[in-house]
Structure 1
Amino acid sequence: MNPVLDWTPPPFPPAKVLEGRYCRLEPIDPAKHLDDIWAAMAGHDGLWEWMPAHPPKDKAAYGELLATMVAKPGIVPFAVIDKADGKAKGHLWLMEIRPEQGVFEVGYITYSPALQRTRVASEAIYLCGAYGFSLGYRRYEWKCNNLNEPSKRAALRFGFQYEGLFRQHMVVKGRNRDTAWFSITDGEWPKRAEAFERWLAPENFDAAGRQKATLASLMQNAEAA
């Protein structure tokens, strides 16, 4: 069936601060964020293995990269701020934004080692989803190189559903990229959001910061409910 939708295309997402419990997403401002991001990223060239860009050679080059993000049309780039110390430790984009279809994607996720496997890193993905769906979008996408196993595992952990493989989808840095596609729809989001919120709750962590219930298990429970 192809039901007629009682739906109005949403606006393009305005660039604004997205506030969470552990992190804050701020529209990228090279003058404000470069020092912290460079300090967090410098020397970790392996983080760029799956990215379309090569690792910036120095701080000035990183500043130029951030400036191109700000100038690029059709995306909303965010710096990921760790509220524990107020430092920017990574960045990501809202991208592939198609208001006429109600689709948006989180991508170009570049997390420093200090950000990886933290509540901040996961909450950033939740904040992006909550923002898009609050505007009236219907579909939240995650795409990655099919060889990027950590990214595929992360997508499933965050509640995205695997949809399939686009073979020979892109050429990135002179190499073929088969792209794995994942999504969350607006009908699925409320349960996914509840799982995120339960995982992020302070009572889900012990005094040493260890999680009691995993996000993957909470997502599975949400799926079964």
Structure 2
Amino acid sequence: MGSKHHAALGPIVGQNPALYPSLETKLSGRYVSVVGMSSEDILPLYPHISGDENAHAWDYMFDGPFQKPSDFEAVMKAELENPELIIYAIISADQPITPNGTHNIIGCASYNHSDPKNRTVEVGVLMSPKVQRTPATTEAMYLMAKHAFEDLGYRRYEWKCDSLNTPSYKAALRLGFTFEGTFRQHMIIKGRNRDTAWFSIVDGEWPAIKSAFEAWLDPPNFDESGLQRKRLEDFRNK
């Protein structure tokens, strides 16, 4: 005999799908602009993420470090052709053009594995180590999240990293993501096991997280030397 009790069900969700990200998008902020990346943007990015001083930035990446620009260019061109990735160049606002006339690209970011039907999308980022945890990097992540929630209509925004990648783990928490758990033996990267830590922001959390971003990025939050007066986390915990 069937149970007389109704099964517990989740709340009803609107059926309108999210929009798929577009390379035609341009997001402008005080410190950076985020624009669709093209093959012409690859080599200008290379100096910011190459060399022995930046080799550690590739420890948990699928590829790299790269000793030759041509090797980096080949991998990035393949990434640009991957339909699962929508990649954007992050351009410094205070010095958008280098002395040789190319865009001053200090990093790149991507929307990965967009699922408009279920309204979920993952963010990825590769920034020059010199600008990590600066207003430029933080603003780029703010612009990407704001666009995903407010313009494209996603309800879940994901961040994933190797569980041993302490800087990325801490960055996710600093940016307002919630740790959800670890997928054990999720991947094999460069011949090594990767347990993957999963984080998310959901749409109901976004207004408070957005307010914290905007308060932290406001110029009065920085002293004459450019040092923050309050941490990003402090604006969420007030």
TM-score, length basis structure 2: 0.88
Counterpart residue identity of residue 30, structure 1: S
Q: Runs (4+) of structure 1 moved beyond 4 Å?
A: none
Cα distance in 1 for partners of 2:223, 2:138 equals: 18
RMSD of equivalent CA atoms: 1.3
The answer to whether the 8 Å contact 2:114/2:120 transfers is: yes
Cα distance in 2 for partners of 1:78, 1:177 equals: 26
The CA deviation at 1:59 is 1.2
The answer to whether the 8 Å contact 1:157/1:219 transfers is: no
Partner of 1:105: 122
Deviates most, 111-120 or 186-195: 111-120
1:220 aligns with 2:237: yes
Instruction: Output one character per residue of 1:37-69: Cα deviation in whole Å (capped at 9) or x when no partner.
Output: 122122022211010112222112222222112
Matching residue within 57, 80, 92 for 1:82: 92
Cα distance in 2 for partners of 1:119, 1:151 equals: 17
Cα distance in 2 for partners of 1:30, 1:14 equals: 16
The CA deviation at 1:81 is 1.1
Partner of 1:66: 76
Cα distance in 1 for partners of 2:13, 2:33 equals: 34
Partner of 1:8: 16
1:40 aligns with 2:48: yes
Counterpart residue identity of residue 121, structure 1: T
Instruction: Output one character per residue of 1:72-128: Cα deviation in whole Å (capped at 9) or x when no partner.
Output: 112111111111111101112110211111001111x22112221210011111111
The CA deviation at 1:142 is 0.6
Counterpart residue identity of residue 129, structure 2: P
Matching residue within 44, 59, 79 for 1:49: 59
Gaps of 5+ in 1: none
1:26 aligns with 2:11: no
Cα distance in 2 for partners of 1:51, 1:187 equals: 31
Gaps of 5+ in 2: 1-8, 97-103
Cα distance in 1 for partners of 2:194, 2:126 equals: 18
Instruction: Output one character per residue of 1:147-184: Cα deviation in whole Å (capped at 9) or x when no partner.
Output: 01111111110000111111111111111111111100
Map 1:65-214 → 2, pairs under 5 A = 65-86=75-96, 87-107=104-124, 109-134=125-150, 135-214=152-231
TM-score, length basis structure 1: 0.93
Cα distance in 2 for partners of 1:50, 1:42 equals: 15
Cα distance in 2 for partners of 1:115, 1:64 equals: 25
Secondary structure at the aligned position of 2:237 is classed as helix
The answer to whether the 8 Å contact 2:46/2:69 transfers is: yes
Instruction: Output one character per residue of 1:173-212: Cα deviation in whole Å (capped at 9) or x when no partner.
Output: 1111111111000000011001000000111111111111
Q: Percent identity?
A: 39
Cα distance in 1 for partners of 2:174, 2:84 equals: 27
Greater radius of gyration (CA):
2
The answer to whether the 8 Å contact 2:50/2:65 transfers is: no
